[in-house]
């Protein structure tokens, strides 16, 4: 039986134990930060030469500026090479992701206030974005779709993809996903060196305005360090899931529990229930699944290091625990999930009922699967169209408008000791021509 942590909300030290459970590997270690800083500086200075040296060192193949380039023609060849079922699944996913994200498009707006000023907002897309597609322990065509489709919907002019290719092997399904989702250019590089290339540009890879997409701790650290040179979506850590259940099939719940654990040894799976007997049944089903899952070694390491089965004594206690955890994925596998939904304040994506496993959202439901992790759902949101658009304030005024509010503005400028600011207003206010 997998050795999974058990917690009970009735225990006096429950809060302390829950906090300890949520402490996981991050990108903040000095060793990671220093290594990443060196990689970033080297790629910034030496461009492709450094990029290919790091690719040979970390991905095990001797690349050149030419061999890392992935053209639209290469993506199209991959699209033709994959199976009919692959193409049908990708096309359906793209259609559903596009339909969902089209609801997020922001529009220009303005209004005229009582002083006569017309105030508004202009929404414009980013010019060029870089998509980081993870490709270490597994290939993720779904990540391509979730990053690229919202960018297309937002109207981004150029979408550039980087993807690690261990041993130089390119995954046709990833390239097919890039083709159907609208990626214009790709590069077979990953890790912190790929983030550096996107941020600073090299002789081959153009610098981008924003980098999006999840990666390992080195990628996360690199994104943190290049922020300011370009934008980033978020600092994404290892995957997480919380399953809240008051009943249901133990085998289903156990599979849902393991769905994130199989990603990475640092992933976290937590189940919360008012039914102690159900938790025991789920523990048995977890072991049964681990006996046959191909990635059982990774999943077992994850659940034994970071997983937990938590017994609570009311659904309010369950909601309180969820809001502390602020999980990336939250399944409310309840008979009446709608009753609990208003209690939830912090979660990246919420799945309601027994027939909506997290995997449906990963691939096909439509909402984005690039989600805040490591409790950052307390203050951040899923990737969306809004991440690929920016807003500009627009202000129009007549002489009457300046006369109505200019004196107060000039007064505040003087109070701040910024006389030139005040002068710009007073010259206009005193001009009688």
CA pair distance 234, 173, nearest whole angstrom = 26
Contact 355, 333 (CB under 8 A): no
> What three-state secondary structure class fits 9?
coil
| Residue in the block written with tokens 């937002």 | 154
Distance from C-alpha of 315 to C-alpha of 306, rounded to nearest angstrom: 23
Angle at 165 between CA 51 and CA 266, to 5 degrees: 100
**Max CA separation in the chain (angstroms):** 88
261, 310, 321, 223 alpha-carbon torsion, rounded to 10°: -20
- 381: tokens are 């949101």
Pick the closest to residue 147 from 24, 273, 232 (CA basis).
232
- Of the candidates 311, 329, 354, 369, the residue annotated as catalytic is 329
Among this protein's residues, is 311 annotated catalytic? Answer: no
**For this structure, is 263 an active site residue?**
no
Question: Counting beta carbons within 10 angstroms of the beta carbon of residue 3, is it exposed (0 to 12), middle (13 to 18) or buried (19 or more)?
Answer: exposed
Torsion region of 381: left, alpha or beta (phi above 0 gives left; psi -120 to 50 gives alpha): beta
Read off the DSSP letter of residue 288: H
Q: Are strands 329-333 and 240-245 parallel, antiparallel or unpaired?
A: parallel
Distance, in Å, from the CA atom of 315 to the CA atom of 14, rounded to the nearest integer, reads 16
Catalytic residue among 328, 331, 354, 369: 328
Say how many Å lie between the first and final Cα of the chain, rounded: 88
Residues that are catalytic: 328-329
């Amino acid at each position: 039986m997998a050795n999974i942590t058990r917690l009970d909300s009735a225990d006096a030290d429950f809060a302390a134990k829950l906090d300890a459970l949520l402490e996981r590997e991050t990108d903040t270690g000095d060793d990671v930060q220093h290594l990443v800083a060196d990689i970033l500086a080297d790629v910034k200075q030496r461009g492709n030469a450094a990029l290919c040296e790091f690719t040979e060192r970390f991905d095990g193949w001797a690349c050149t500026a030419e061999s890392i380039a992935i053209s639209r023609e290469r993506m199209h060849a991959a699209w033709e090479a994959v199976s009919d079922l692959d193409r049908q699944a990708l096309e359906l996913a793209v259609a559903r992701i596009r339909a969902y994200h089209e609801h997020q498009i922001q529009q220009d707006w303005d209004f005229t206030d009582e002083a006569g000023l017309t105030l508004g907002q202009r929404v414009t897309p980013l010019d060029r974005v870089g998509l980081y597609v993870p490709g270490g322990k597994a290939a993720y065509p779904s990540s391509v779709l979730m990053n690229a489709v919202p960018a297309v919907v937002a109207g981004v002019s150029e979408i550039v993809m980087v993807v690690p290719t261990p041993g130089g092997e390119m995954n046709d399904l990833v390239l097919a996903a890039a083709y159907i989702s609208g990626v214009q250019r790709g590069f077979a590089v990953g890790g912190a060196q790929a983030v550096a290339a996107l941020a600073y540009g090299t002789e081959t890879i153009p610098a981008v305005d924003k980098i999006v997409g999840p990666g390992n701790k080195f990628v996360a650290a690199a994104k943190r360090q290049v922020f300011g040179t370009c934008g980033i979506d978020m600092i994404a850590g290892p995957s997480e899931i919380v399953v809240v259940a008051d009943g249901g099939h133990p085998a289903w719940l156990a599979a849902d529990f393991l769905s994130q654990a199989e990603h990475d040894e640092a992933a976290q799976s937590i189940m919360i229930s008012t039914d102690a007997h159900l938790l025991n049944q789920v523990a048995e089903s977890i072991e049964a699944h681990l006996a046959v899952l191909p990635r059982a070694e990774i999943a077992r390491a994850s659940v034994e290091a970071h997983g937990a089965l938590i017994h609570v004594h009311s659904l309010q206690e369950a909601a309180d625990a969820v809001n502390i955890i602020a999980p990336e994925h939250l399944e409310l596998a309840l008979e009446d999930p709608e009753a609990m939904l208003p209690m939830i304040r912090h979660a990246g994506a919420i799945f309601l009922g027994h027939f909506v496993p997290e995997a449906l959202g990963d691939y096909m439901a439509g909402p984005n699967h690039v989600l805040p992790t490591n409790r950052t759902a307390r203050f951040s949101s899923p990737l969306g169209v809004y991440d690929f658009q920016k807003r500009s304030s627009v202000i129009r005024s007549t002489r009457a408008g300046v006369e109505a509010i200019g004196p107060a503005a000039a007064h505040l400028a003087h109070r701040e000791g910024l006389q030139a600011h005040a002068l710009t207003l007073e010259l206009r206010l005193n001009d009688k021509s």
